[in-house]
Amino acid sequence: MESINKIAVLYGGSSAEREVSIESGKRVYNAIIDLGYCCEKFDINNIDGLHNLTNFDFIFIALHGEEGESGNLQKQLESIGLPFTGSNSESCSYSWDKSISKDLIRKNGIKTPDSIQINNSLNFNRSYDDIPFDHFFIKPSMDGSSINIFEIKNENEYRKTLEQLRDLNGPFILEEAIKHKEFTVTIIGDSVLPPLEIKTQNSFYDYEAKYLSDDTDLVEAKYGNEWLANIKDFAKNSYQALGCTGWARVDILEDKDGEFYFLELNSSPGMTSHSCVPKSGEFMGLSYNEVVKKIIDASVS
């Protein structure tokens, strides 16, 4: 494509991840200005009104949640011929719906925790004795930032969670817990960045651990060259199975036997001060601005 001069950053929105998106958008905007582009940022509350962006050369999507990751925004941008960061609308829709992404991952021979689909949380009343897992999570099929995730280890916790689900109308999945180690791997273009191991004092990597706690450690995962090659291949295979391009972040679990499991893929990952993508870039000597430049370049190549 022709050279890029003017970039619009889309951020904010109205999802539960709005505050995270605002910080991501502001940091990305500042980086793009520092890189020498003309740039404006737009707090998007209606993805149907994007024709005013046609005077821009490129769109950097820093919208999280449904508005930025479900594929609807990407479909709108495709319809008006505007290039943007990340995967196309179809791949975004696959990765956004955890039930669909897990099915595609399984069909490609990649492991993912066993799960049960909950089509409507209001009507879900399966008895605890009918759950095939002793330890599991219930989480939205379509959401991010570990919002409304419930960890369940016994029947009492399960009953309390069912009561809370009554106020959360929507599809959920009940997913087997794989509790040993958790990693996240950033992919930008053809490059797989250094995997991060997530170490948190919380029971799991929840919203508080991701964005608020100073006790969460994102450390470079160093378990030998063979292990590193294997987890990078696992992440790349997951990324390709969902048809992704440009950039994404793959979250991966490892059990006590050293087996990897696909957890989810984020098609518009966070770019905040606590986020994994810039942190992973740091471990290969990249500044925040350089990571942003790589994302732009990978999305237009």
| Annotated catalytic residue 145 | yes
Catalytic residue, candidates 12, 246, 270, 281: 270
Distance CA 150, CA 135 (A): 11
Are 194 and 221 within 8 A, CB to CB? yes
251 is catalytic: yes
Q: What are phi and psi of 212, to 5 degrees?
A: -120, -35
- E strands, 12-159, are 38-43, 58-61, 115-118, 136-140, 150-152
Q: Determine contact, residues 228/221, Cβ cutoff 8 Å.
A: yes
DSSP 261-284: EEEEEESS---STT-HHHHHHHTT
Torsion of CA 74, 75, 81, 83, to 10 degrees: 20
Residue 264 bears catalytic tag: yes
**From the candidates 143, 182, 251, 254, which is the catalytic residue?**
251
Distance from the Cα of residue 229 to its chain's centroid:
22
Q: Which of 89, 115, 249, 267 is catalytic?
A: 249
Instruction: Judge whether 270 counts as a catalytic residue.
Output: yes
Q: How far apart are CA 1 and CA 216, in angstroms?
A: 41
Q: Which of 12, 13, 15, 17 is catalytic?
A: 17
3-state helix, strand, coil in the chain (%, to 5): 35, 20, 40
Residues facing residue 58 across a β-bridge: 7
Marked catalytic residue, from 148, 238, 266, 299: 266
**Which is catalytic among the residues 254, 261, 264, 289?**
264
In what helix (H) or strand (E) does residue 77 lie, and over which residues does it extend?
helix 72-79
Q: How far apart are CA 292 and CA 301, in angstroms?
A: 15
Q: How is residue 170 written in tokens?
A: 């929507």
C-alpha separations of 64 from 16, 82, 98, 155, 180 in Å: 9, 19, 15, 33, 28
C-alpha 188: how far from its chain's center?
14
Check if 67 is active-site: no
**Residues known to be catalytic:** 17, 145, 211, 249, 251, 264, 266, 270
